[in-house]
Amino acid sequence: MDTEKIFSKSVLEKPETKRAARANATLDLKKLIRMGWNENPYGMSPKALAANLEAAKTGNFYQDFWCADMKRAIADSYGISVKNLVVGAGSSPLIEIAGQAFLNPGDEVLMCPTFAAFIDMAEIRLDRVVSVPLREDMGYNLDGLAAAVTEKTKMIVICNPNNPTGGYLSYDEIMAFVEKVPRDVVLLFDEAYIEFATAPDCRSVVPLVFEMPDRPILVMRTFSKYYGMAGVRAGYIIANEEIAAGIGRVPGSWIPSAAQAAVVAALSEPEYYEECKTKIVAGRAYLSREMEKLGCTVYPSQSNFIMFDPHCDCAMVREKLIERGILISAPMFCRVSVSTPENNVLFIRYLGEILKAAKAA
Ligand SMILES: Cc1ncc(COP(=O)(O)O)c(C=O)c1O
């Protein structure tokens, strides 16, 4: 078979995507305590789970292609129109859809080190993806991004709070940045973790979509994290009607019926999720405190994960934790997701053992 003739140029010529590289790793996920991918350990709310199971009974029929109930429920939760929404099976496919909707060869996309799906989306389409280094304190570098804008800049990605750092940008910082950026540059805000924020100045930029109706501003949210539906798959973009309609022309906005049903039910049970958040925020404080006691540099987090520098080989720390049954990530330094109190305690115990052995070696 002559694969040179079969595959597209992007498959043949572009580097392997970060996600494809991950797919080649073999991990026995059933045996691991999952503290690596920023999932919600408490799962969906009871009504969301029941709705999800119930909808599976009619899985022989296609889903509602228009996602009418789901869109209505999301729109009502913000007091906006369903015309301001583009829905998808999580943020990852929506990131691809946004790439297809806005990017042409020759365009430039600007971002700081962030979630791999953005890097993959831009690299596969463009010759030049501008990655602006984070600030020294690991903050998302808005000044650096503003300085990197050229006439070719088509899109700027801002992840707030950012993954993998967990750090955040205040609403005022973002506003000042938005004012500086040329008006026709697409601003794609990813707020996958914003529900976990507790800092009063860490606020969603959804209002900007409506305050600046002439700007191409997209705010992306997912049900994977706060709503405990990472494997269920649902997410959405909020944008002005014209922009949402344009993005809507890209195919791929499919959401399984069971996911649509779960979203509608989840949005009717905010108390359940507030309780989860309280536990996760307490776990975040516990893990941060204990990792500092172990001598790690801990980066302040407004999300459901924490980045830390163990001051030894991060890949080794990850491997040793996997051997003991806990999955974490090591995208920059190490990154651990907040889990249940029992799992958090176990993680700290194992991390302590691993760091002690590393020091002694
Ligand atoms: C910044 C960011 N955005 C979005 C997502 C979620 O993607 P999805 O909705 O596809 O699960 C993640 C998951 O890790 C993330 O870190």
Query: Which CATH number covers residue 158?
Result: 3.40.640.10
**Whether 216 and 105 share a structural domain:** yes
Write out the H or E segment, with its range, that includes residue 246: helix 241-247
CA–CA separation, 150 and 108 (whole Å): 8
Point out the ligand 1 atom lying closest to the alpha carbon of residue 223. 9
Point out the ligand 1 atom lying closest to the alpha carbon of residue 90. 9
Q: pLDDT digit string (tens) for 39-62?
A: 999 999 999 999 999 999 999 999
Q: Domain end: 197, 231, 266, which one?
A: 266
Give me ligand 1 centre to Cα 111, in Å.
16
What is the model's pLDDT at position 24?
60
**Whether 87 and 18 share a structural domain:** no
Q: What does the pLDDT average to over 303-314?
A: 98
Tokens of 324: 């003991």
Which one, of 288, 275, 292, lies nearest residue 344 by Cα? 288
**Whether 137 and 253 share a structural domain:** yes
**Whether 161 and 275 share a structural domain:** no
What is the model's pLDDT at position 23?
64
Q: What does the pLDDT average to over 194-221?
A: 97
Q: What does the pLDDT average to over 259-266?
A: 98
**Whether 36 and 59 share a structural domain:** no
Q: What does the pLDDT average to over 274-295?
A: 98
- Determine contact, residues 330/319, Cβ cutoff 8 Å: no
Helices marked H in 294-331: 314-323
**Whether 189 and 201 share a structural domain:** yes
**Whether 140 and 288 share a structural domain:** no
**Whether 37 and 58 share a structural domain:** no
CA–CA separation, 260 and 232 (whole Å): 9
Q: pLDDT digit string (tens) for 66-110?
A: 999 999 999 999 999 999 999 999 999 999 999 999 999 999 999
Quick check: helix, strand or coil at residue 192? coil
Question: Domains in the chain: how many in total?
Answer: 2
**Whether 212 and 306 share a structural domain:** no
pLDDT band for position 27 (cuts 50, 70, 90): confident
Let me know if 184 is exposed, middle or buried by CB neighbors in 10 A (0-12, 13-18, 19+). exposed
Where residue 67 falls (left for φ over 0; alpha for ψ -120 to 50; beta otherwise) is left
Tokens of 77: 């939760």
Lowest-pLDDT range of 166-175, 251-260, 351-360: 251-260
pLDDT band for position 126 (cuts 50, 70, 90): confident
Query: Which CATH number covers residue 276?
Result: 3.90.1150.10
CA–CA separation, 49 and 70 (whole Å): 15
- Enclosing domain of residue 179: 46-266
Q: Domain end: 229, 249, 266, which one?
A: 266
Give me ligand 1 centre to Cα 115, in Å.
7
**Whether 228 and 307 share a structural domain:** no
**Whether 72 and 215 share a structural domain:** yes
Residue nearest to atom 7 of ligand 1 (CA): 91
If one residue of 91, 169, 253, 254 were mutated to test the ligand 1 pocket, choosing by the most ligand atoms within 8 A of its CB, it would be 91
pLDDT band for position 28 (cuts 50, 70, 90): confident
Pocket of ligand 1 (CB under 6 A): 38, 90-92, 115, 159, 163, 190, 192, 222, 224, 230, 235
Where residue 124 falls (left for φ over 0; alpha for ψ -120 to 50; beta otherwise) is alpha
Tokens of 101: 């909707």
